[in-house]
Chain A
């Protein structure tokens, strides 16, 4: 009968499939992991095979580290079944490991070994590693200074922006006075205030905090406001018939309803405040990653610049990840939110 033909076919086909293509199945499952291992072995070899064209102290260690990573990738792939979620995570990231290994090999060969890219503008990987090991204290100080400045300014800006946004959205009188000011000053890039801020504020630190707060505050204000203003009147009607007082309407209706907008504002504010942070540190503040970049450039220490850039991007990305994690926690009720 026709209804049986499908399962019959499968049953008779199964034994035939099982033996010969075992290797093929294994390769399909683990091939990329093995390839990742090969790519990192290539990177290790590229470090150790030829002599460096310059004087870098971490070449040997980097080569060994590459072999270690290759070994981890290989054993992780072969033993994926015994590693549980770690094995699965490795399997998922294997294509990236291949790409990274290949890129590093190319980078190593093109800089440290044959100098196809002009030195010192394109330092090899080992010189960046060297920065992390030998200049760590200064780098950590800079990270700490940047985080402190950014966090202070951002929190002030976000708080003030949020409160302003709620007030404008809620009160007609506040809107009347604040809205024109917001329209006039808000779109101005915060960096345009730099020269004025640096001589009106008592310290460059307070000036930068102000500017970061300004850069954060504008988008947060506008989006909080539009969030509050777009809350459906039906929600207020419902709450009012249930006996809600005005404070309840603000705190328990307007603000929660506006929260998705607020987070868009917080996200935009974070982006523009990063820009202000770096510029402020390059121009006036004598600490932080922006200053470190500037300082490294002054000494033509290009490896230090790349090292600082990598740290900076990790920090910014981490900050946004954190913001999104908070949002996902607060807005569990939303379906289909933006992925990060």
Chain B
């Protein structure tokens, strides 16, 4: 089944090279290693899920990719250019929507364009991004008036308005109820297929990883190492009951040491 390779239709995403990256935290003078010699090559437009036990260092890797922190060793490149600091071509959607409560929905989405000083000439992009997540009618609402799912959609619009080449998702659906979650998973896939950005998704839900990604990378316990790199060769939309996915899921849970529960 070679034809089922499911890359996004229009690849405007960037390639991401993570080369022998190690990282550690300084906690009270002691060094706590969190990433150990991680190398991942992500192709433009790929949807890669990072899966691993809680606290293993997946989110740290995302912060490095975003350029929010610098690795202790190794390099990260976006299309050959070394990542040294944050850039709007790599936008993060965090587990909490972290909308600015003092800004209306529209102003929250406009944040990136405003920070880059291009809002005045490109206001249309904000409206488009709100349309994209279906929240145009909430443009004047304040964050405290939104439900959890709506807030996370606004956060998604705030990221997408910048036309990122790499979209970094740090468990963005982790705190949503299961129904909203399933809806938003489908939305994520369709957004990714339409926009073609490279996507990096941290999750600790194997099923979510398998429904969304074309590649699932399984990490070990802290310090995180790449334990397995699994291709998911299935067309979208995928079905949760698909025996192929169920088989992969069993494999992955086995890698995470949870095979007894399956």
Decide: B111 and A239 in contact? CB cutoff 8 A: yes
Q: Is the interface of B mostly helix, strand, loop or mixed?
A: loop
Decide: A333 and B111 in contact? CB cutoff 8 A: no
Decide: B86 and A240 in contact? CB cutoff 8 A: yes
Decide: B68 and A240 in contact? CB cutoff 8 A: yes
Min Cβ gap B140→A in Å is 11
A239's nearest neighbour on chain B, judged by CB, is B115
For A240, A256, A334, the residue with the greatest tally of chain B CB atoms inside 10 Å of its CB is A240
6 cross-chain pairs, A with B, having the tightest CB-CB distances, nearest first: A242-B112, A244-B115, A243-B88, A243-B116, A240-B86, A256-B102
Among listed A141-149, A245-253, A317-325, interface-contacting one? A245-253
Decide: B68 and A248 in contact? CB cutoff 8 A: no
Does any Cβ of A come within 8 Å of B90's Cβ? yes
When each residue 82-96 of chain B gets 1 if its CB lies under 8 Å from chain A and 0 otherwise, what string results? 000011101110101
> Using Cβ atoms and an 8 Å threshold, which residues of chain A touch B101?
333-334
When each residue 160-184 of chain B gets 1 if its CB lies under 8 Å from chain A and 0 otherwise, what string results? 0010000000000000000000000
Decide: B94 and A234 in contact? CB cutoff 8 A: yes
A242's nearest neighbour on chain B, judged by CB, is B112
Does any Cβ of B come within 8 Å of A11's Cβ? no
Decide: A245 near B115, CB < 8 A? Known: A234-B96, A240-B68: yes
For A235, A243, A334, the residue with the greatest tally of chain B CB atoms inside 10 Å of its CB is A243
Does any Cβ of A come within 8 Å of B158's Cβ? yes
Does any Cβ of A come within 8 Å of B98's Cβ? yes
Number of B interface residues at 8 Å Cβ cutoff, please give it. 27
Does any Cβ of B come within 8 Å of A339's Cβ? no
When each residue 176-201 of chain A gets 1 if its CB lies under 8 Å from chain B and 0 otherwise, what string results? 00000000000000000000000000
Kindly state the separation between the CA atoms of A232 and B102 in the bound complex, as whole angstroms. 14
Decide: B102 and A241 in contact? CB cutoff 8 A: no
Min Cβ gap A238→B in Å is 5
Does any Cβ of A come within 8 Å of B236's Cβ? no
Decide: B102 and A259 in contact? CB cutoff 8 A: yes
Does any Cβ of A come within 8 Å of B156's Cβ? no
What residues make up the interface of B, taking CB atoms closer than 8 Å to A?
A: 66-68, 86-88, 90-92, 94, 96, 98, 100-104, 111-112, 114-116, 142-144, 158, 162
Decide: B94 and A248 in contact? CB cutoff 8 A: no
Kindly state the separation between the CA atoms of A241 and B87 in the bound complex, as whole angstroms. 6
> Using Cβ atoms and an 8 Å threshold, which residues of chain A touch B68?
237, 240-241
Given contacts A235-B100, A237-B98, 5 further A-B pairs with CB under 8 A are: A237-B94, A241-B68, A243-B86, A248-B114, A333-B144
> Using Cβ atoms and an 8 Å threshold, which residues of chain A touch B67?
241
Which residues 312-340 of A sit at the B interface, judged by CB distance below 8 A?
A: 331-335
B168's nearest neighbour on chain A, judged by CB, is A241
For B68, B101, B158, the residue with the greatest tally of chain A CB atoms inside 10 Å of its CB is B101
B99's nearest neighbour on chain A, judged by CB, is A238
Kindly state the separation between the CA atoms of A301 and B31 in the bound complex, as whole angstroms. 76
> Using Cβ atoms and an 8 Å threshold, which residues of chain A touch B90?
241
Decide: A243 and B112 in contact? CB cutoff 8 A: yes
> Using Cβ atoms and an 8 Å threshold, which residues of chain B touch A259?
102
B69's nearest neighbour on chain A, judged by CB, is A237
> Using Cβ atoms and an 8 Å threshold, which residues of chain A touch B66?
237, 241
Number of A interface residues at 8 Å Cβ cutoff, please give it. 23
What residues make up the interface of A, taking CB atoms closer than 8 Å to B?
A: 232, 234-235, 237-245, 248, 252-253, 256-257, 259, 331-335
Kindly state the separation between the CA atoms of A241 and B112 in the bound complex, as whole angstroms. 8
> Using Cβ atoms and an 8 Å threshold, which residues of chain B touch A248?
114-115
Decide: A333 near B98, CB < 8 A? Known: A241-B66, A241-B86, A242-B88: no
Contacting B98 at CB < 8 Å: which of A235, A240, A331?
A: A235
7 interchain pairs, CB-CB under 8 A: A238-B92, A238-B158, A241-B87, A242-B112, A253-B100, A333-B143, A333-B144
Contacting A252 at CB < 8 Å: which of B88, B91, B98, B114?
A: B114
Kindly state the separation between the CA atoms of A335 and B92 in the bound complex, as whole angstroms. 28
> Using Cβ atoms and an 8 Å threshold, which residues of chain A touch B114?
248, 252
Kindly state the separation between the CA atoms of A316 and B48 in the bound complex, as whole angstroms. 62
Kindly state the separation between the CA atoms of A259 and B186 in the bound complex, as whole angstroms. 39
Kindly state the separation between the CA atoms of A234 and B93 in the bound complex, as whole angstroms. 11
> Using Cβ atoms and an 8 Å threshold, which residues of chain B touch A238?
92, 94, 98, 100, 111, 158
Kindly state the separation between the CA atoms of A165 and B92 in the bound complex, as whole angstroms. 31
Kindly state the separation between the CA atoms of A133 and B210 in the bound complex, as whole angstroms. 85
A256's nearest neighbour on chain B, judged by CB, is B102
Kindly state the separation between the CA atoms of A252 and B98 in the bound complex, as whole angstroms. 15
Kindly state the separation between the CA atoms of A268 and B86 in the bound complex, as whole angstroms. 40
> Using Cβ atoms and an 8 Å threshold, which residues of chain B touch A331?
102
Decide: A243 near B115, CB < 8 A? Known: A237-B68, A238-B92: yes
> Using Cβ atoms and an 8 Å threshold, which residues of chain B touch A240?
68, 86
Decide: A241 and B91 in contact? CB cutoff 8 A: yes
